[in-house]
């Protein structure tokens, strides 16, 4: 089965159950924490991806890691995912759960990429401006890409504004090359 179908299906199931049990906000925090932990811990990734570690051992380790730290529903869900031998899809499930949550709450996701880190106050001002423009809550994250040279790239959902120096230089180069070809 296609990985995206699996992650979406499991995320939808958890989302529906969490919403039904009125645990949506709590489970969202759990899934964010688990997603971040997977990004930071190579040991956890190795555990989830290992074909050598038995399912019963994975379940025991997952319970040891997460029981008492996340909601019981979240632990039960992780156990069920492992029992179904789908634990390798956990990062995608976390990502899709967050997307379902944002859609349900009407929250837009935005990413601003700059050549150097922005000051926290500036990020807050940008977030407030986006919330004013879109008339909804916006979750703004920041990335740094030194290849941009200067300026920024702002992506909100599926729209993007590229005001980077690298992009402007590329456009100047294309114009220059086009002028050379036309001569």
3-103 shares its CATH topology with 107-182: no
Domain 3-103, CATH class in plain words: mainly alpha
Report yes or no: 94 and 39 within 8 Å, Cβ to Cβ.
no
3-state secondary structure of 20: helix
Q: Give pLDDT tens digits for 118-175.
A: 999 999 999 999 999 999 999 999 999 999 988 999 999 889 999 899 888 888 888 8
Does the model's pTM come out above 0.85? no
Domain residue extents for the chain: 3-103, 107-182
Give the fold, CATH level 3, of 107-182.
Glutaredoxin (3.40.30)
């Amino acid at each position: 089965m296609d990985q995206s179908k699996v992650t979406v299906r499991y995320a939808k199931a958890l989302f529906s159950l969490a919403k039904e049990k009125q645990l949506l906000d709590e489970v969202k925090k759990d899934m964010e924490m688990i997603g971040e932990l997977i990004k930071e811990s190579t040991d956890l990734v190795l555990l989830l991806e290992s074909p050598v570690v038995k399912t019963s051992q994975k379940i025991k380790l997952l319970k040891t890691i997460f029981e008492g730290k996340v909601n019981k529903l979240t632990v039960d869900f992780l156990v069920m995912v492992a029992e179904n031998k789908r634990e390798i899809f956990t990062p995608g499930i976390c990502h899709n759960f967050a997307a379902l949550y944002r859609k349900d709450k009407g929250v837009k996701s935005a990413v601003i990429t700059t050549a150097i880190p922005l000051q926290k106050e500036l990020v807050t001002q940008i977030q407030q401006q986006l919330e004013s423009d879109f008339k909804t809550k916006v979750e703004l994250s920041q990335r740094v890409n030194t290849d941009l040279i200067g300026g920024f790239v702002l992506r909100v959902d599926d729209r993007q504004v590229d005001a980077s120096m690298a992009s402007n230089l590329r456009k100047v180069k294309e114009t220059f090359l086009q002028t050379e070809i036309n001569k």
